[in-house]
Structure 1
Amino acid sequence: MRVLLVEDEREMAAWLERALAQSGFLPEHAPDAASAERLLAINDYDAVIMDLRLPDKHGLVLLREMRNRGDITPVLILTAQGALQDRVRGLNLGADDFLTKPFALEELEARVAALVRRSRGRQAQRVQCGSLLYDSDSRAFMLDSVLLHLTPREHAALAVLITRSGAPVEKNQLFIRVFDHDSETNLDAIEVVLHRLRKKLAGSDVHIVTVRGLGYMLESINGSH
């Protein structure tokens, strides 16, 4: 499940990104409304988790603009304790669910999964690039219909690459998804993970290419993404 996290508090966002990724979600972070608008314009998400107190625009304004342009992506809003007015306005503007801070991570994950099930009719979300298939519900990768055995870091890297297949992912962005934010690991450690992935994809119609100055990209030899 691909989720856009719109949250300006850096520590909260980093914690949520790590936790969601470990639970099988594919989170992307937007620190403000402008970043969220750019990402929503070029990507499809299964759900949006949105804090209302953004530095450049109130979350409810962002929500209203989403709905006005026909974007029906499910939105879960994070609200402050007792913010009844925000809840009422949010419902009127098209919010799908609310969660009051502080919250339990398990409840957040359950609510997001429920939103996605309702909007997608319980159908598993699958992403494909050539003969490589990723089922985000089971978190399984299949290569030529055979289960691909990956380490957690290989899995994290490949999940990011396949959801953006055909487009380069920056080295630093990929590193953040694969290694903890507070990790002391060197940035070049991502090269080791990609080397191992390339070996496991060897002989198939899918490969990871280095795009000079832009990062890494997953692509299929036959051109299907």
Structure 2
Amino acid sequence: MHPRFLILSGALLLAACAPKKVESAPATRPASRPTRPGPATADLERRIARLELSLMEKEAQVEELQTRLDNTRQEVVRAMAKLQTLATRAEAASGIAEAEVALQTLKTAPGQPSTPEEIQATRLLKESSAEFDKSNYGGALYLANQAKTLAGAARERLAAGERGAQRPGETAFALPIRLVASGRGNVRAAPGTGSRIEFGVEPGEALTGYSYVDEWIRIGDDSGRGGWIFRSLVTRP
């Protein structure tokens, strides 16, 4: 046998017997599982959902109460139209003029958008003028007084905003709240017992609440003083 043939046969045999290199499949990463919210997060989400439902309920209640209030006003106005003796033409005209002044003062507040009170007071004032034209002076005076009260409430809210910038976590009441001191206590410069005492209040003293931080209420009194008082020291009159 030819030597060259033997060499070639041996080379082929060695190549056939050599171990083949096996390519390893690319490593696969385990599929990531969606992270489940922890107990604290789930509890917070439930609380937020309950608060949203409660807010929807309160808004519906407010709308219903507003409708009832409007209907009651109309009943009062119709009743006054039948009596014709509750107010004179001069008294009604004076009441309308006072309401117009209160509303005009509110509108001149610089940089302030129309408040719900201002919008409603404007509507009541128009209704008052319409009743005046019908010679229903009692109804006209009643509606004018309602408009003046709403304008005053809006003015108080704006005045509360002018007392200073809100603190972190401070929440304004939808409307200023009439309060009285339930006992002797201190009104402080800021929320917290470590804050400086501004003045003291006596039991039964009239106050107005504007906003709150935790259990501290920002209040003002009839003399123009203001500050923060602990919630347990005030109550509704």
Which TM-score bucket, shorter chain as reference? Answer: under 0.3
Between 1 and 2, higher relative CO (CA 8 Å, sep ≥ 6) is seen in: 1
Q: What is the TM-score of this pair, normalised by structure 1?
A: 0.27
Higher helix proportion (structure 1 or 2): 2
**Structure with the higher fraction of residues in strand conformation:** 1
